[in-house]
Amino acid sequence: MSSISNYITAQNIPSELIQNILCFVGRPIDLLHCSLTCKTWSYHAMELLWYKPYFAHPSCWYSFCNTLEEPRSWMFPYTSFIRRINLSSLSIQVTDTQLLLFNTCDRLERVTLVGCSSLTDEGLLGLLGLQAGKHLTSMDLSDITNITDTTIIKIANTCPNLQGLNLSMCKDDRERCTGVTDLGIITLAGKCRHLRRIKLNNCDSLTDASALALARHCPRLLEIDCPVTDEALMTIFTRLRELREFRLQQCGLITDTAFTPLSGIQFKENEQPMTMYRSLENDGFFDQLRILDLTNANFITDESIRLVIHAAPKIRNLVLNKCKEISDDGVSYICHLGRHLHYLHLGHCDNLTDRSITKLARSCTRIRYLDLAQCSLLTNASVHALATLPRLKRIGLVKCFNITDDAIDALTKQPRIASSLERVHLSYCVNLTDQSIRRLLNFCPRLNHLSLTHVPAFLRPDFQRFRRTPPKSFTPQQQNVFCVFSGKGVKDLKAYLNEITPTEFLSLQSTSNSTSTRNNNDNGNDNLIRGAGADDPANNGTTPTPTPTTMALRDHDFNQAIASIGWNQQRRLQQLQSLYQQQQQQFYRENNRNNNNSNNNNNNNNDNDNNNNPRADPRPTTRAPPAQPVVHGPEADEDIENDLFLVDDERLME
């Protein structure tokens, strides 16, 4: 029998094994229980618990700060355990004094301070004052408008291993970031040569000098987002061969000239006394480029798109919003991306027609997201083509005024879309009706976002009670037409539309003044009105269409019975269907009993009519009047033109 000393106890398990074991413990409370085993286990459990502290509530943050302020009470070196800090959830509650407590975290790797707008240079300088920047690889300082070049230069001097820096500023902020200038970015580029990702959008004081410095000193950049002009963009295309994400959202002045390096034609770059020539001769020079954002590049044309696709044939996400010079030819070049293209934004590209969109749907069959907002020339034909995309999750058709119910029905005829479509944007598509939207909701069970702002059919109060709350920044008029459904609102709208459809249809029919509107839906709703007896061969098609008076009497009793049913949606829908069938059967029994007495007279009258007019159809031939076109401009009615373009639903596309 082996001695007790041969048994492995919790105390003498190697540290490497303990770390591996505890890494598989998911819940923090379980790690806390493991820390009670022995001192060794407690050390490794605490190391994991403090690796990335989580602050669910401000009170947790204050307790955390109190612990850091009393190092004498520590059992373990907690500051050395901290590798990542994310204070975004605390936002403005983080102060400079509290940030100073992290300056002894000598193993810190990532710092995320998004939206901590109360911070200034003082707090950030204190954080980097000792050894906190030695191992730092990533800093996210988004929306901190108070920082200046002093902080950027400090980062450059104390963070030699920095790989990612985010200084993006929210474009909606009234306080713009003007403290970060070319001086700070040039210093950063010179000393942090391992930089891989940098975002500088909406930093108003930056010029081409910053982009040129980054292109020359940081050749391994994977992602760059900064303001540039043609000159800087040419240098970037020449030097940064490993780009994966390139965002030019605020570069409205770039032209086709900036893309000439992609053509394979030699060009001059006078950066030193000697003239330097570079050439991109082969296809796929930017073979790793996956995301390209050219939003608001008003002056680029189809030629630039051709060069981009030629150089980067594997782009996955292409954003061309507000590139108003792009036409069908540009989209034809995009079609060469084929199966690589997943996300395409073509909002406000006014020159696009059905021809290019149809070709796009045939060529790029893996598109998941497509934005065609305000492409006013598109018609139902484009939607018919897009409905064949098997992986389409989001489609934006905001302000596509030619879209009608036929386009929505096209989406409901493709079985693959039913399992994929999640978000549909149809705001300002004024020709849509509630019936087509009901069919869309019933066909696509995964649909969780639907925007119908300024669609007249959905401005009714009973529909708007399911919408999201309008943004506070909207004017009263904008709030009145705001109609966006998300999550539970989509489900409630679907249930309500299914619930009211029979009663609302009968109510509309009972108030009709002519038989023309009853003959408008021969294949669907007309069967509900006439019932099986209307098409029964025994009746020879002579059963007269119910008059408005008889229908009104029937609907009166029907609606009174509905009012007594409870509000449970599923139960009410079942009872509603049963009640509707009973009312239909009773109505047609009485109707057929009356018709039997007058059948002979009707047949004689029909024979006389046929002798006088052999080609006449015994059934009513009156057709529903065509829908009146929507009029915009000076001739429009007040209720139609009421601030038609006030609400820009484009912000909801993301």
Q: Tell me: the pLDDT tens digits for 124-171?
A: 999 998 888 889 999 999 999 889 999 999 999 999 999 999 998 876
Average pLDDT over residues 67-92: 83
Length of the chain: 654
Nearest to 356 by CA among 381, 337, 374: 381
Percent of the chain with pLDDT over 70: 70
- Cα torsion at 502, 506, 507, 508 (round to 10°)? 110
Q: How far is C-alpha 179 from the geometric centre of its chain's CA atoms? A: 32
pLDDT mean over 361-387: 96
Per-residue pLDDT at 621 exceeds 60: no
> Is residue 512 predicted with pLDDT exceeding 70?
no
pLDDT of 644 > 90? The answer is no
Spans of all domains in the chain = 10-49, 55-227, 327-486, 498-588
Return d(Cα 451, Cα 486) in angstroms, integer. Answer: 8
Gap between the Cα atoms of 383 and 395, Å rounded: 10
SS3 293: strand
- Rounded-to-integer distance, Cα 222 and Cα 204, Å: 23
Domain 55-227: what homologous superfamily? Ribonuclease Inhibitor (3.80.10.10)
Say which range, 216-230, 400-414, 571-585, has the weakest mean pLDDT.
571-585
Type of residue numbered 516 = S
pLDDT of residue 597: 57
Mean pLDDT of 200-215: 90
Q: In Å, how far are 33, 407, 433 from 331, measured between CA atoms? A: 59, 21, 31
Task: Name the residue with tokens 């493709």.
Answer: 414
> 84: which 2 tokens?
């990542």
CATH 1.10.357.10 assigned to 327-486: no
Measured from the Cβ of residue 447, the count of other Cβ atoms closer than 10 Å reads 19
Q: pLDDT class for 334, splitting at 50, 70, 90? A: very high
Cβ contact 363:335 at 8 Å:
yes
What is the percent of the chain with per-residue pLDDT over 90, rounded to a whole number?
48
Query: Which range, 43-57, 113-127, 352-366, is most confident?
Result: 352-366
Average pLDDT on 234-241 reads 91
Q: In sequence order, which residues have a C-beta less than 8 Å from that of residue 167 and are 6 or more positions away?
A: 141, 142, 147, 152, 177, 180, 198, 199, 200, 203
Q: Is the pLDDT of residue 361 over 60?
A: yes
Rounded to whole angstroms, the Cα distance separating 550 from 586 reads 13
Mean pLDDT for all residues in the chain: 77
Question: C-alpha angle 88/93/99, rounded to 5°?
Answer: 75
Digit-coded pLDDT (tens) for 531-572 = 333 333 344 444 344 443 443 344 444 444 444 444 444 455
Interval 616-621 mean pLDDT = 42
Which one of 433-437, 527-531, 584-588 scores highest in mean pLDDT? 433-437
Q: What local confidence, expressed as pLDDT, does residue 370 receive?
A: 97
Identify the band that residue 501 occupies on the pLDDT scale cut at 50, 70 and 90: confident
User: Which pLDDT does position 26 carry in this prediction?
Assistant: 73
pLDDT band at residue 25 using 50, 70 and 90 as cut-offs: confident
34-59 pLDDT tens trace: 777 777 777 777 788 888 888 888 88
Asked whether this chain's domains 55-227 and 327-486 adopt the same fold, the reply is: yes
654 class by beta-carbon count within 10 Å (0-12 exposed, 13-18 middle, 19+ buried):
exposed
pLDDT at residue 452 tops 50: yes
pLDDT for the residue numbered 6: 54
Does the pLDDT at position 278 exceed 50?
Answer: no
CA pair distance 336, 340, nearest whole angstrom: 9
Q: Taking 50 as the threshold, does the pLDDT of residue 269 lie above it?
A: no
Q: What's the confidence (pLDDT) of residue 183?
A: 95
Q: What is the rounded CA–CA span in Å between residue 105 and residue 165?
A: 19
- Write down the pLDDT at residue 403: 95
Q: How confident is the model at residue 363, as a pLDDT?
A: 96
In whole angstroms, what is the distance from residue 453 CA to residue 467 CA? 10
Between 485 and 638, name the one with better pLDDT.
Answer: 485
Are residues 590 and 550 in contact, defined by beta-carbon separation less than 8 angstroms? no
What's the pLDDT at 11?
Answer: 65
Confidence at residue 587, expressed as pLDDT on a 0 to 100 scale: 59
Query: Distances from the Cα of 513 to the Cαs of 516, 547, 558, in angstroms?
Result: 9, 9, 20
* 581 pLDDT tier (thresholds 50, 70, 90): low
Q: Which long-range contacts (CB under 8 A, 24 or more apart) does 120-126 make?
A: 120/96, 120/146, 120/147, 121/146, 121/147, 121/148, 121/150, 121/151, 122/96, 123/95, 123/96, 123/97, 123/98, 123/99, 124/99, 124/151, 124/154, 125/150, 125/151, 125/154, 126/96, 126/99, 126/100
Q: How confident is the model at residue 192 (pLDDT cuts 50, 70, 90)?
A: very high
25-39, 67-81, 300-314: which is most confident = 300-314
What average pLDDT score do residues 416-427 get? 92
Q: What distance in Å separates the CA atoms of residue 348 and residue 252, rounded to the nearest whole number? A: 15
SS3 237: helix
What is the distance between the alpha carbons of residues 335 and 359, in angstroms, rounded to a whole number?
A: 7
What local confidence, expressed as pLDDT, does residue 575 receive? 57
For residue 476, is pLDDT > 70? yes
Give the pTM: 0.71
Alpha carbon 251 to its chain's center: 23
pLDDT for the residue 594 = 62
Q: Which pLDDT does position 426 carry in this prediction?
A: 97
H-helix or E-strand spanning residue 211? helix 208-217
